[in-house]
Amino acid sequence: MGYDVDCDKMKDECGVFGIWALGQSEEAANFTYLGLHALQHRGQESAGIVSTDGETLYVHRAMGLVADIFDAGVLAKLKGGAAVGHVRYSTTGGSHVKNAQPLAVQYAGGPIAVAHNGNLVNAEALRSELEAAGSIFTASTDTEVVVHLLARAHPAAAPGTVEHLVGSVRQALGRVSGAYSMLFLTPKAIVGARDPMGFRPLVLGRLKGNWVLASETTALDLIEAEYVREVEPGELVVLDASGLRSERLFPDRPPAPRLGRCVFEHIYFARPDSVLFGRSVYEVRQAFGTQLAKEHPVEADVVIPVPDSGVPAAIGFAETAGIPFAMGLVRSHYIGRTFIEPQQSIRHFGVKLKLNAVRGLLKGKRVVVVDDSVVRGTTSRKIVKMIRAAGATEVHLRISSPPTAWPCYYGIDTPTRQELIASTHSTAEIATYVTADSLGYLSLDGLYAAIGAERTGFCDACFSGQYLLEFPRRQNHAPLRLVGG
C-alpha cells in the first residue's frame, strides 16, 4: 500500500522550458533536460521534451522524474536546435502518461507541441462544446482543449508560417479563461504566452545569443543563461530565425484591470534561489519570518524550521526574536512520493521517513517550529508530536502564511474546501488539534508588507476566498466571492 508523505502540502503545479537555437546548436534537448531538472520541484509525476530540427518534431514523454526518464540514448534521439519541455503534477486530468506533456499533434497548420503551466477554468464547458461538434479527445487534461481550439482556428496567414501559428494561438487562447503560461513549438518557431492576469510565472533568458523561456530563473541559472526579464502578463513572445519579438496577446482588448500573480509561489512553490515577480524568493521568505516574529512573539529557547521550505522564514523569525536558530528536524532527501508499508499499523511512520528530530537540540527546550503552511493539519500534528517525543517541553507552531481556507482553481491541486482545516476551525481549535502550545499565522496584511507590494498585484484566493476569475460552479463548493476583472 502506498502512502503520500506530502499529504499536508499544496501539490506543486507544473514547469515549462523552451529554447530556440535552431541553426546555432544541436543540443536543445540537452539544455531542456537541464532546465527541467532545475524545475523538478514544480512537478514530479511526469516529464517530456519535444525538439525540432526545422523539419520534424521529435517527442519523448514518460511518467517519473526527469533524471529517470531521459538518458543519453533518449536525448540523442531528440534532434535539433529548438525544444520545449514540461514537468507535471496533475491539476486537471489524472495521473497517466496520456496526460504527460508537451502534447504533440499534427494539424492543418503543421506539427505543433504545447506545454502548459496553469489551469483553464472554462475547460469543461469548452470540451463539451468541442465534443458536441465532433472533436475526439484522447487525454483528460485541459491543455488538449487548447490543441483542439488551435486546430479550429482560421487565421489569415498561410498554414505552416509563423504568422499562422501566432494567429492560431491568439484565436485559441481568446476562447479560454484561467491561468496559463504556455509554450508552443513548431519547426518554424516557439511562441510563449502568459495570461492577462499573470497567474503563473514565465521568464525570458538569453544563452549565447539564443533565447530561452522558463517557469523560473533557476532553470536559466543551471544552463548559465542570462536572465533578461519576466514575460509580462498578457504578452506573447515569438522566438524564430529572426530572433525575438514581443506583442500583446490580445491587442484588441484592454489590459486586465488588475494582476493575479500567485502569492503562493513566494510562500512555497518557487525554489528559494529563484527571482520571482522581481523579488528574491529567499529574501521574501525570510521577510515573512521577520514579520511573523513581530506579529506572534513567544518566549522560547530555539527556533527550528520544517525543511526545506520553512528554512528562510525560520531564519528571519529567529533573527528578529533574538532566539537561536537550529536545524532541529533533518530531512531525508531520498524518500519518494510513496513507499511500501510492511503493515498497515505503521502508516504513521510516513512523516518519520521524511523527517527526524534531533533529540540533543530539542530535549528540555521550548521550541518554535516554523512551517510555510497548514493544509489539512495532519502532518503538522505528527511533527509537533515528534518534537515532543524528542524531549521538547513546549512546542509553538508558527506559519509563514495566512490560514489556507479556500481551494485554488488556477493551477494548484488543492484539497476540497471541506478538507482544509482552516475553513471550519479557528486558530485555537487548530492549535488544539495539532497539539501545539500555541499557533500563529502570518496575517494577510503582514504577508504583503513582507513582499513589499500591493495586494492588487496578486491572487490570494486560497487565503481570502476572493477569486479573480469566475468559473462554473461545481458541487460541494461553497458560494464564492468574486472580485476584480
Domain co-membership, 194 together with 251: yes
Domain co-membership, 308 together with 453: yes
CATH of the domain at 294: 3.40.50.2020
Contact 304, 321 (CB under 8 A): no
> What single DSSP character describes residue 187?
S
Final residue before a domain boundary, out of 203, 230, 256: 256
Q: Considering the domain boundaries, does residue 153 fall inside one?
A: yes
DSSP string of 7-40?
TTSPBP-EEEEEEE-TTT-S-HHHHHHHHHHHTG
Which residues pair with residue 303 across a beta bridge? 325, 368
163 lies in which domain range? 14-256
* pLDDT higher than 70, residue 189: yes
Domain co-membership, 207 together with 325: no
> Quick one: pLDDT at residue 472?
59
Final residue before a domain boundary, out of 228, 256, 284: 256
Record the pTM: 0.91
CATH of the domain at 51: 3.60.20.10
pLDDT tens-digit series, residues 166-186 = 999 999 999 999 999 999 999
Q: Could you tell me the CA-to-CA distances from 388 to 31, 69, 147, 393 in Å, in that order?
A: 46, 41, 53, 7
Q: Considering the domain boundaries, does residue 262 fall inside one?
A: no
194's CB contacts (< 8 A; 6+ apart) are 180, 181, 182, 200, 202, 231, 232, 233, 234, 235, 249
Q: Considering the domain boundaries, does residue 450 fall inside one?
A: yes
Q: Which three cell numbers stand for residue 311?
A: 528554512
Domain co-membership, 34 together with 72: yes
> Quick one: pLDDT at residue 411?
72
Final residue before a domain boundary, out of 194, 222, 256: 256
Q: Could you tell me the CA-to-CA distances from 166 to 161, 163, 247, 409, 427 in Å, in that order?
A: 9, 5, 10, 27, 50
> Quick one: pLDDT at residue 477?
39
pLDDT tens-digit series, residues 241-289 = 999 999 999 999 999 999 999 999 999 999 999 999 999 999 999 999 9
Domain co-membership, 26 together with 165: yes
Domain co-membership, 344 together with 466: yes
Contact 182, 166 (CB under 8 A): no
Decide: helix, strand or coil at residue 216. coil
Q: Which residue has the higher pLDDT, 137 or 34?
A: 34
* pLDDT higher than 50, residue 474: no
Alpha helices in 107-161 (DSSP H): 123-132, 143-152
Domain co-membership, 405 together with 275: yes
pLDDT tier at 473, thresholds 50, 70, 90: low
Total domain count for the chain? 2
Q: Considering the domain boundaries, does residue 4 fall inside one?
A: no
**Catalytic: 14?**
yes
Residue found by looking up cell 529517470 in the block = 68
pLDDT tens-digit series, residues 88-120 = 985 445 566 878 999 999 998 999 999 999 999
Domain co-membership, 35 together with 140: yes
Domain co-membership, 126 together with 153: yes
Domain co-membership, 123 together with 36: yes
Domain co-membership, 71 together with 211: yes
Q: Considering the domain boundaries, does residue 147 fall inside one?
A: yes
> Quick one: pLDDT at residue 418?
81
Size (the chain), residues: 485
* pLDDT higher than 90, residue 372: yes
Contact 234, 196 (CB under 8 A): yes
Q: Considering the domain boundaries, does residue 1 fall inside one?
A: no
DSSP string of 292-323?
HHHHS----SEEEE-TTTTHHHHHHHHHHHT-
Domain co-membership, 239 together with 373: no
Catalytic residue among 7, 14, 408, 459: 14
CA distance 311 to 314: 5
> How confident is the model over 449-465, as a mean pLDDT?
96
